[in-house]
């Protein structure tokens, strides 16, 4: 347990009981669809199907792809293709990479720990802690973390043209306030507490809250509250530095045109993302993080229950507080987050008991065909040979500029 939190029990059964008995509260977006079975099916992970998914990512344009499954103490590691097109170095399951919006769950955990410590409440208006930051005083902390604030996603403006937009900000350093101002220059997309609408702006404001309430940088908060306690040796927040430390995969951004040219996007400040998407990590560390989270080791049971109150995204997905739920073909739900930052796609999910986790990654972005291969790694990892083909699976959307249609 992270020092300074007030976790009310570590037993998974108590967490599940609280989920079953928690009263519905329309303003807090209770799940419109019941969660599926918490227990995993009998099937073991299917390494053949996992490798096939990775090879499909390569066939659709990713130079490399990897997956790691941690299954109740046993690790399965798979990798295909290249980490570096220049040196021809093969990618490995130990490579570090930019995790994009998986950062949002880290940000959420820090804020929920502050809720546990009594520093703020989920239903506090944001302006209580950041006076004058938002024009709509009804927006609460809960609305931010659930993507229900109505704040316009500034990345739709920055990256309407992906490559030219990236090159314009690759080496730029933004403040949180500058990113927020980009959002506020556009009209709100909805009312606070209304429909789910994914927006990076929410987690920029969450980063502002962390820095105001802790008196430290977001990077320091991640390190002191999550990275060091969990001994995440491959996890870093280097913003605004541009280099990834240690052995890492390079990232390749697909061009906007009809050609197949790739832009090496590895070195960047990722300042456009910050608390919404700038962490660097590895498959091992992300599996450790999500396993610890679902086992109740990072927040109180009450806060974990709040994270798992779902708003529908589509027929197979829900969003809680900084946490995604995906319902798989074999009748189980898994929990984690997706991530995109230029050149990098990440999927990281765990079972309801935290005993089986998978992180899959491809060193590509701006490529819908590659992105749509990664959900297959979840089916292979959690359903094994019990996985069944979906005839109408919803298309995946990037966490960068989610309203931009990608080919």
Q: What is the pLDDT of residue 51?
A: 98
Per-residue pLDDT at 34: 61
Q: What is the chain's mean pLDDT, rounded?
A: 90
pTM: 0.91
Rounded CA-CA distance 255/245 in Å is 26
| Residue 404 clears pLDDT 50, i.e. is over it | yes
In this predicted model, which residue has the larger pLDDT, 12 or 326?
Answer: 326
Cβ neighbour number for residue 107 with a 10 Å cutoff: 28
pLDDT at residue number 39: 63
Q: What percent of the chain has pLDDT over 70?
A: 88
**Banded pLDDT at 210 (limits 50, 70, 90):** very high
What mean pLDDT do residues 118-137 have? Answer: 98
Question: Which residue numbers are catalytic?
Answer: 101
Local confidence band at 258 (pLDDT 50, 70, 90 cut-offs): low
Residue 257 has pLDDT above 60, yes or no: yes
Q: How far apart are CA 137 and CA 20, in angstroms?
A: 32
> What confidence category does residue 394 fall into, taking pLDDT thresholds of 50, 70 and 90?
confident
| The pLDDT value given to residue 261 | 87
| Per-residue model confidence (pLDDT) at position 35 | 64
Q: Name the token pair of 211.
A: 């820095």
Q: Label residue 9 by pLDDT band (50, 70, 90).
A: very low
pLDDT per residue over 313-365, tens digit each?
999 999 999 999 999 999 999 999 999 999 999 999 999 999 999 999 999 99
pLDDT per residue over 42-69, tens digit each? 789 999 999 999 999 999 999 999 999 9
List pLDDT tens digits, range 234-254: 999 999 999 999 999 999 999
Give pLDDT tens digits for 72-119.
999 999 999 999 999 999 999 999 999 999 999 999 999 999 999 999
pLDDT value of residue 18: 34
């Amino acid at each position: 347990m992270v020092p300074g939190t007030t976790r009310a029990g570590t037993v998974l059964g108590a967490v599940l009981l609280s989920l079953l008995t928690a009263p519905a509260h329309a303003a807090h977006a209770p799940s419109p669809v019941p969660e599926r079975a918490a227990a995993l099916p009998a099937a073991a992970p299917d390494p053949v199907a996992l490798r096939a998914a990775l090879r499909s990512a390569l066939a659709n344009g990713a130079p490399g792809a990897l997956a790691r499954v941690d299954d109740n103490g046993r690790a399965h590691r798979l990798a295909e293709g290249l980490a570096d097109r220049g040196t021809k170095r093969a990618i490995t399951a130990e490579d570090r990479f930019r995790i994009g919006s998986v950062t949002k769950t880290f940000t959420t955990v820090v804020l929920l720990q502050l809720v546990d410590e009594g520093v703020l409440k989920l239903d506090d208006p944001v302006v209580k802690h950041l006076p004058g930051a938002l024009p709509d005083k009804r927006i609460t902390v809960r609305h931010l973390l659930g993507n229900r604030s109505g704040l316009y996603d500034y990345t739709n403006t920055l990256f309407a043209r992906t490559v030219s937009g990236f090159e314009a900000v690759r080496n730029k350093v933004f403040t949180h306030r500058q990113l927020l101002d980009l959002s506020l220059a556009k009209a709100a997309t909805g009312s606070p507490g209304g429909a789910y609408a994914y927006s990076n702006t929410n987690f920029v404001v969450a980063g502002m809250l962390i820095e105001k309430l802790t008196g430290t940088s977001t990077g320091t908060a991640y390190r002191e509250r999550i990275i060091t306690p969990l001994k995440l040796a491959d996890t870093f927040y280097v913003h605004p530095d541009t280099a990834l430390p240690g052995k890492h995969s390079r990232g390749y951004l697909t061009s906007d045109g009809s050609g197949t040219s790739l832009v090496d996007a590895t070195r960047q400040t990722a300042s456009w993302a910050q608390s919404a998407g700038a962490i660097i990590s590895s498959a091992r560390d992300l599996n450790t993080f999500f396993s610890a989270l679902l086992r109740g080791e990072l927040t109180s049971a009450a806060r974990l229950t709040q994270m798992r109150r779902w708003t529908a995204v589509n027929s197979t997905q829900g969003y809680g507080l900084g946490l995604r739920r995906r319902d798989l073909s074999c009748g189980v739900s898994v929990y984690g987050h997706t991530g995109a930052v230029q050149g990098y796609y990440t999927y990281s999910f765990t079972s309801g008991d935290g005993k089986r986790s998978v992180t899959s990654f491809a060193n590509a972005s701006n490529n819908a065909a590659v992105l749509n291969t990664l959900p297959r790694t979840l089916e292979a990892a959690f359903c094994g040979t019990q996985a069944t083909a979906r005839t109408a699976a919803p298309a995946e959307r990037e966490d960068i500029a989610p309203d931009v249609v990608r080919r």
